[in-house]
Amino acid sequence: MREIFLLLMLITTSFLTYSQEQETLTDPKLAMCPSGFTEAACKEWLDASTSYFQNKFDESMGDADAFKKLTRNGEFIDALMASPFVTSKLDKLPVDITLKIIDIEDADSVLGLEFSYDKELSRTYYNTSGSRMKSYQFDFSISGTATQNDEENPRNFIDASLSFSFQNMPTFNEAKTLEALNKNYECTKEANFETDLCIKMLSDGVQRFFDTVGPTFYFDYGFDLGYETNQTFEVSNRRLGGYLMTTYEDLSRDSFMGVNGVVPSLRVAIDTVEPNSETPRAMAGDDSTYERLSAEFHLSVPLTKLLDLPYLFSFNYRIYDELGASNTVKEAELDSYRLRTYSLSAPVGLILSYSSGRLPFGLEEQQTIELGFKTYF
């Protein structure tokens, strides 16, 4: 366990001490690619995209099968799957499941199933400039971990919620990109890509479009009705509260975070929690309703450029603090919970993680190492 933890800490240290100079684009067209793409993968994607757009204007131009050929290129697919662009899309799929072996400190290893499900109904509208998209939605989600023996489950915490939320995010309007691409029809021809006119068009049009997006924030805020339980559903909390979540992403190529696809996010919530009589807090002598502050910080770091590894490193830190806790709850050390998790994963496939701490319903802090296989539906 110690060796794996040191490896994870080494990767974290490498990220914190790594410095990278501003990346200068030798080809202005590269500004169109997601920042996680390598230069070779970007050029291949652009070639296929150009052929696709050309066929929209004139069936005799371009390669109608460009995208089909691209899907058979293993090197490009590897680069695509390792990019944060794909990871963000996979995270939006409704179901993800990880089959894992959980090695608990000073205890036996157990087989586990980590799962999450999310279903939403939403309506969307745009601001007058078309630069940001706003939406409101109803969302149902459930997530947790189940093991073969509930008494040996270090994540004996299942969280289900029904929320009404508002979202605010940039549009990344495809029409603007197409307009920039086709501002001069001759510049859709590969033979003219390097001419002064087309280079200027690409620089002024496409580059300007992406520069205006650049660093941006996504916002999600609303009300949340939740149900928390252990694996046997005997211990549970009901909660009602509000939350705010923000994510920062830099789509430009002139910063460390933009070049390397580093994406941090933070979710903060205040809830009124009603425990049942079987919760550790109630068993300690206090089953009253209480207010709780919770927060979750998440940082994802693709290692493609940092360390030339086709994996994603992530750090997740969750806290739960009871506000105005009674002396009974404080003495039982049930007023505050912390969980830290370091992970290495591919978009689909093997995942390795190290965790320390506990979640609500947990009686003591534990250190665990998890090795599993993750997939989406």
For the chain, 377 residues long, give each residue's pLDDT as a single digit of tens.
444 443 444 334 333 333 333 344 445 455 555 555 666 666 666 666 555 545 544 444 445 565 556 555 555 555 555 555 555 555 556 788 888 899 888 777 889 999 999 888 888 877 666 667 788 899 999 999 999 888 888 888 999 999 999 988 776 654 454 455 455 446 656 666 667 666 665 555 544 444 455 678 889 999 999 999 999 999 999 999 999 999 998 877 678 888 888 989 999 999 999 999 999 999 999 999 999 999 999 999 988 777 877 788 999 999 999 999 999 999 999 999 999 999 998 767 788 999 999 999 998 899 999 998 887 66
In 289-317, which positions are buried (b, 16+ CB within 10 angstroms) versus exposed (e)? Answer: ebebebebebbbbbbbbbeeeebbbbbbb
pLDDT recorded at residue 229: 95
Give the Cβ contact number of residue 213 at 10 Å. Answer: 17
In eight-state DSSP terms, residue 284 is T
pLDDT recorded at residue 306: 78
How far apart, in whole angstroms, are the C-alpha atoms of residue 198 and residue 180? Answer: 11
**Domain boundaries 2-26+97-170+215-376, CATH class:** mainly beta
Please, how many CA atoms are within 13 Å of residue 234, restricted to the half-sphere of its CB? 7
Give the Cβ contact number of residue 376 at 10 Å. Answer: 14
pLDDT recorded at residue 60: 47
pLDDT recorded at residue 91: 58
pLDDT recorded at residue 6: 39
pLDDT recorded at residue 267: 96
Cα torsion 198, 199, 202, 204: sign: negative
pLDDT recorded at residue 10: 39
pLDDT recorded at residue 353: 94
Residue with tokens 């603090």: 321
Q: Is beta strand 236-250 parallel, antiparallel or unpaired with respect to 263-275? A: antiparallel
